[in-house]
Structure formats: C-alpha cells, structure tokens
C-alpha cells in the first residue's frame, strides 16, 4: 500500500509565527512606546485567543483583536485613525510573500516520488488557499485539506476520505497540540519537527508514543520516508 504523509503547513513548510511576532512587536511599539512585546506577550496571546474563539482564524480577526487591545492596553476607545494604523500593521498577513523553511522544496520533491502527500493545514479557508498558491508547493501534493481546527475526529475523517491505512500513514508538523497528539489518537504515526517559536496556544508537552519520532529539520524526512 502507498505510504501517505500528511503534512502541516504553517511553521512546518513556511514561516508563520515569526510574521505574527513581528506584527505584535510593531503594534506594541506603536501603542505603548517604551514597553516591550515581551511584557505584554501573555496578555496579547490571551486577547488573540479570545477573538479567535469568537470570530475564527484569519487576518481580520487578528486586526480586530489589535483594535480591541487599544481599549484594553491603552485605555481609550479606538478611533478611525487607530484602525488605519492597524490595517497597515497587519499588511504582512495578506501573505503575498511567503518565507519557505530551509530545504522544503527539495525535500518535498524527493518525498513526493515515493509517498502520497496530503497537506493538512488549519485556518481561514481563503487565506490558507492563498498561501498554498503563493508557496509554489501545490504541485507536490495529491490533496490539500484546510480545516477549521485539527481534532481527532478531523484526522479520522481524512483517514476515511482518502482510505488511509493508519499503519502506513504519518502526520508531520510542529505543533504537539494540533499535529501530533490528535493524529496519534486517530491511529496515525507522527513526526514532530519543532519550530524555534511555536505559538503559546499550540504548545503542549510532547507525549511519548511508539509511533512518534522527533526530527531536527524538515530535510531529515528523506532519511525515513
């Protein structure tokens, strides 16, 4: 049976969190000059998680949360001028340029010759589709799955949809919470490739499991698959 690799996208194939971190840093510089993003990080994360719960993932939600932060952190009602500044700050989140992680195109080229590849990403559908198109990586994949959230039942649904044999299918990604733990629970193997900066909301202590392997870089996948 053909081996199938399910591959996460944000912070596995291309940089994502570093772009959000840069926007957050510019926001704090603007809103609270003299403060550092580090002092505010946990409150910013909490604010962003609150807005995601209400409005879903995506650039617009992120912009709304930054606008909400004007009241929460600076103690004033946001004005139209604030809104214009924030629209400018979130411009990198249009994702017209993507920064691919080292070795990704060559590694996918090699892996796709020996394995069936399915991209499994979560987020706003239009935004993630745009990133896939801009990445230039679409042709390596047999299918693209964009999910609202990565849960055990979503992995099970993908397993059924593509008639995957769990014994010869692996999920590859940087997030224990979204990529590793639910995929293992659905019966797949899992390959954790940590990213130096994983968003606090995605952090979870990695479980130990006979079908879990950790690698240092994406390129190392070719030694195993």
Footprint of Mg ion (CB under 5 A)? 8, 10-12, 174-175
Q: How far is the CB of 197 from Mg ion (least distance, A)?
A: 11
Query: Distance (Å, rounded) from C-alpha 83 to C-alpha 81?
Result: 5
Q: What token pair was written down for 206?
A: 């990695």
In the complex with Mg ion, the residue whose CB is nearer, 7 or 44, is 7
Long-range contacts of 164-167 (CB under 8 A, 24+ apart): 164/4, 164/188, 165/1
In the complex with Mg ion, the residue whose CB is nearer, 7 or 186, is 7
Q: How far is the CB of 182 from Mg ion (least distance, A)?
A: 13
In the complex with Mg ion, the residue whose CB is nearer, 10 or 154, is 10
First to last CA, the chain: 14
Q: How far is the CB of 11 from Mg ion (least distance, A)?
A: 4
In the complex with Mg ion, the residue whose CB is nearer, 3 or 201, is 201
Phi, psi of 119 (to 5 degrees): -80, 130
Q: How far is the CB of 202 from Mg ion (least distance, A)?
A: 7
Q: How far is the CB of 180 from Mg ion (least distance, A)?
A: 10
Q: Are 112 and 7 within 8 A, CB to CB?
A: no
List beta partners, residue 214: 192
- Taking the alpha carbons of 40, 43, 192, 101 in that order, is the dihedral positive or negative? negative
- The CA radius of gyration of the chain, in Å to the nearest whole number, is 19
Q: How far is the CB of 198 from Mg ion (least distance, A)?
A: 8
In the complex with Mg ion, the residue whose CB is nearer, 24 or 174, is 174
DSSP states of 155-220 as a string? HHHHHHHTT--GGGEEEEES-IIIIIHHHHHTT-EEEE---SS--GGG--PPPP-TTEEE-SSGGG
In the complex with Mg ion, the residue whose CB is nearer, 12 or 115, is 12
């Amino acid at each position: 049976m053909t081996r199938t690799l399910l591959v996460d996208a944000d912070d596995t194939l291309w940089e994502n969190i570093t772009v959000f971190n840069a926007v957050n840093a510019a926001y704090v510089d603007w809103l609270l000059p003299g403060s550092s993003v580090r002092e505010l990080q946990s409150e910013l994360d909490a604010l962003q998680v609150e807005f995601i719960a209400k409005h879903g993932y995506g650039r617009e939600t992120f912009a709304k949360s930054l606008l909400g932060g004007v009241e929460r952190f600076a103690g004033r009602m946001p004005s139209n001028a604030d809104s214009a500044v924030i629209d400018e700050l979130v411009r990198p989140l249009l994702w017209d340029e993507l920064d691919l992680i080292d070795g990704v195109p060559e590694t996918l080229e090699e892996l796709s010759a020996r394995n069936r590849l399915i991209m499994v990403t979560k987020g706003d559908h239009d935004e993630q589709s745009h990133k896939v198109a801009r990445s230039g990586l679409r042709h390596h994949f047999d299918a693209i799955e964009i999910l609202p959230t990565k849960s055990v039942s979503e992995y099970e649904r993908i397993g059924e949809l593509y008639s995957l044999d769990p014994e010869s299918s692996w999920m590859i990604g940087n997030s224990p919470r979204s990529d590793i733990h639910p995929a293992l629970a659905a019966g797949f193997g899992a390959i954790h490739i940590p990213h130096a900066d994983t968003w606090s909301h995605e952090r979870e202590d990695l479980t130990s499991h006979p079908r879990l392997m950790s690698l240092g870089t994406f390129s190392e996948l070719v030694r195993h698959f």
